[in-house]
Structure 1
């Protein structure tokens, strides 16, 4: 085992020894089948944690294509990122699903800091580690970014040429939404919110606990969630708060993070992407415009495709079996061609 990363113990949760909360999750490692391995690796002045899924019959002496999987904002590797990492391993890939710094099992303080610089570096660092994992072919490494992880993936691959193919699922442009509000609903309040973020940062500098934005899963009732105008938040309430709830997952981020988020936009620099690009959206996803915006700017990708999953909303691409299968089939065809 390379010194770049070390094996670690899983933290069981909800009856699953690996802590996984998605449907169809692995419950044990069986010789010769798809297996899951928990690893930790140095990251700045703390430790990051990831799960590596290896394909059936995995042999360190062989050469495999591999994929980094980046989870949604506030998510963790045991949720939708794990779903797709497992599906990719079933298709013959080594897949690494990591916890972003400052959340999940990865280190970093204050918790729930959501700086785009950190999230993009998470991806670069995951590539560092995956490229050293036994059996990974360095010329066949791709990436899948989901929701917020998709927006950060779209940014990371602009300059990180280790990735030979890039895919996103239900991309969420975090900077655009934190700055302008979902579908432009908070454009008029940005200056007020930035002043609040600056005040929160100064309080942190003075030694006070970091202020957090409200956690919808804790503050809203089911009735209030059902009345929300956007599928993303309405269905996200149930996905993160009930159906795939995990103690490492949260809708909150530090109020001071807005200082960094407001200046970020996944779309900027899109012309630097020069590898095959697949962007998947649900046909009913109210976030679909974000993928379309990014897709239209990636003019130098040698192959680019916007793939629509009929009938799916944003959150349903995370868990609904027929939509997950369509996305998986598309991913394996795409990576199979370009890795």
Structure 2
């Protein structure tokens, strides 16, 4: 999916994407005042029901945009367990991260879904930087913010990471013991895939791609144009020709059925310097909290969950839950699979928070 693109071709593509995004922004705002694009999303706050609270806070000098969801009949004088939800690669808080955050709030949790720094509605330059250390810090930052939120019991904080957010959640939980229960859904090991290629398909080009990343950083440092990798826009024909479920269904989700102007598959080429030397499954033995990892039985990414799970030798009550029949992207939105994941999460958090 993250095909490398020339500066000229990408510039044309990005210009077209900007026009599409401007039109998309208006459509999204017309449909939902909070620009949420998932099914069943909140459209307004009502007394006695789950409410959404757009917030902003500073993390290492960068303004982060987040949504906090509070449960029905929320009372700031009471104490509630809380969950931080980390979004997928290319995703934002208004998509599947928001869906799961809202579902968990409906079950009585205070939840937070934040845009990664440098991405979505959060600040940070250059845009679309995809540094794994920053993404991990984003999760620490959600813990910083939500544990200070009125009504949150800081001793009952859980975390849920989806796709790339799942990989970063595993890394954050290795050192951040504020998280008392750790869960992932359709975990994607961004470092392994950027280094080896999806399903280890690019092992022969690792050094070549590291050279491209180094050259991109050198050009960026010299004040030149920022080089981007990834996909700015895509045609229906290109989607149909995509052979892997992850990328074909991912294009459909992010560019068609759940499109949002802040969501993009672009990332700075220089990001590969950090991504390709990073691995979500490294040091998994540092996780000593309860661990739940979920993946679809038909997900072509399941091998990443299996690998990381096997290395979590010190996790308490660890469980691998396979969602029968689901692909990776279908766990983001398809009601029967979301319901299974939600049910499992609720049992897990109830037992461990």
For the aligned pair, the TM-score class normalised by the smaller chain equals over 0.9
2:196 is the alignment partner of 1:190:
no
CA distance in 2 between counterparts of 1:94 and 1:46 reads: 24
| Residue correspondence of structure 1 range 175-186 to structure 2 within 5 A | 175-186=191-202
Residue correspondences, number: 327
Give the deviation of 1:46 after TM superposition: 2.1
CA distance in 1 between counterparts of 2:326 and 2:316 reads: 28
1:8 corresponds to = none
Work out whether residues 200 and 211 of structure 1, in 8 Å CA contact, stay in contact via their aligned partners in 2.
yes
2:127 corresponds to = 111
2:323 is the alignment partner of 1:312:
no
Q: Deviations over 1:242-297 (max 9, x none)?
A: 11101110111100000000110001110000010000000100000100101000
Change (3 A) 1:158 1:66: same
Work out whether residues 14 and 21 of structure 1, in 8 Å CA contact, stay in contact via their aligned partners in 2.
no
1:131 corresponds to = 147
2:61 is the alignment partner of 1:51:
no
Q: TM-score, normalised by structure 1?
A: 0.95
CA distance in 2 between counterparts of 1:120 and 1:337 reads: 26
2:275 corresponds to = 261
1:88 corresponds to = 104
Which consecutive residues of structure 1, in runs of 5 or more, have no partner in the other structure?
1-10
Match of 1:227 among 223, 229, 241: 241
Work out whether residues 175 and 266 of structure 1, in 8 Å CA contact, stay in contact via their aligned partners in 2.
yes
2:264 is the alignment partner of 1:250:
yes
CA distance in 2 between counterparts of 1:18 and 1:310 reads: 33
Match of 2:253 among 216, 231, 239: 239
* Higher helix content, 1 or 2: 2
Which consecutive residues of structure 2, in runs of 5 or more, have no partner in the other structure?
1-25
Give the deviation of 1:230 after TM superposition: 1.0
Give the deviation of 1:222 after TM superposition: 1.6
Q: TM-score, normalised by structure 2?
A: 0.91
| Residue correspondence of structure 1 range 200-219 to structure 2 within 5 A | 200-215=216-231, 218=233
1:13 corresponds to = 29
CA distance in 1 between counterparts of 2:29 and 2:244 reads: 30
Q: Deviations over 1:179-208 (max 9, x none)?
A: 000001111111111111111001110112
2:166 is the alignment partner of 1:171:
no
Give the deviation of 1:228 after TM superposition: 1.6
Secondary structure of the 1:133 match is: coil
Q: Deviations over 1:35-86 (max 9, x none)?
A: 0001100122221110000000000000101000000011100000000000
1:3 corresponds to = none
Give the deviation of 1:14 after TM superposition: 4.3
- RMSD over aligned CA atoms reads 1.0
2:306 is the alignment partner of 1:273:
no
CA distance in 1 between counterparts of 2:94 and 2:312 reads: 31
1:62 corresponds to = 78
Give the deviation of 1:210 after TM superposition: 1.4
Work out whether residues 177 and 184 of structure 1, in 8 Å CA contact, stay in contact via their aligned partners in 2.
yes
